[in-house]
């Protein structure tokens, strides 16, 4: 008899979890899109995972609020996507340009800097004329 009494509760929890997965799946579409563009969505992923746990515990209200907050943040990130993409490409371009510039700069400056360091290390040296030599 106790089984029969618990059955509706179990079915209710199962239905809530199923509904929760569907709601999280809606938000996940943006997570997938943004993450494939290289945007950091780890915070939103953690929120959605927490929401999935809450749905499994039948705490639908708290879970819904988390999903809504994650969706709001994801939509905000989506609006910033062109700027984020441009910043990422600019950063990559600068990195490549900086690394490409190192060999010629090294070739030009290293002997000069080395000579300066060499002279600095010997700045207290005295040049003495050998007496017997002419």
Partner 1 sequence: MVIDDEVLAVLTAIVTVACALGIALSLPRSPEPFTAIGLLNEQGKIGDYPRVLVAGEPAKLQVFVMNHLGKAAMLKVEAKIGARGRIPSNSTPLDAPPVWERVVILGHGQNATIPVQIAVAEPGSNVALVFELWQYDASKGEWVYTGRWCHLYVNVTRGAP
Residues in contact with partner 1 by CB under 8 A are 21, 24-25, 28-29, 31-33, 35-36, 38, 41-42, 45, 48-49, 52, 92, 95-96, 99-100, 102-103, 106-107, 110-111, 114-115, 118
Query: What minimum distance in Å lies between the beta carbon of 131 and partner 1?
Result: 28
Chain centre distance of CA 97: 22
Query: What minimum distance in Å lies between the beta carbon of 40 and partner 1?
Result: 9
Query: What minimum distance in Å lies between the beta carbon of 5 and partner 1?
Result: 19
Cβ proximity to partner 1: between 122 and 132 the closer is: 122
Cβ proximity to partner 1: between 40 and 62 the closer is: 40
DSSP 57: T
Which residue from 40, 49, 59 is spatially nearest to 21, judged by alpha carbons?
49
**DSSP notation for 70-106:** HHHHHHHHHHTHHHHHHHHHHHHHHHHHHHHHHHHHH
Query: What minimum distance in Å lies between the beta carbon of 8 and partner 1?
Result: 20
Q: Three-state SS for 49?
A: helix
Q: Rounded distance, CA 114 to CA 119, Å?
A: 9
Cβ proximity to partner 1: between 90 and 114 the closer is: 114
């Amino acid at each position: 008899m106790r089984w029969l009494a618990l059955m509706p509760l179990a079915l209710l929890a199962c239905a809530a979890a199923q509904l929760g997965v569907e709601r999280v799946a809606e938000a996940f579409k943006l997570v997938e899109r943004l993450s494939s563009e290289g945007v950091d969505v780890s915070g939103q992923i953690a929120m959605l995972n927490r929401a999935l746990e809450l749905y499994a515990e039948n705490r639908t209200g708290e879970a819904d609020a988390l999903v809504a907050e994650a969706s709001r943040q994801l939509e905000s990130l989506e609006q910033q996507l062109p700027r984020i993409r441009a910043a990422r490409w600019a950063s990559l371009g600068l990195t490549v340009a900086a690394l490409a510039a190192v060999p010629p700069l090294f070739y030009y400056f290293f002997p000069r800097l080395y000579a300066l360091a060499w002279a600095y290390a010997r700045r207290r040296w005295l040049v003495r004329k050998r007496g017997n030599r002419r």
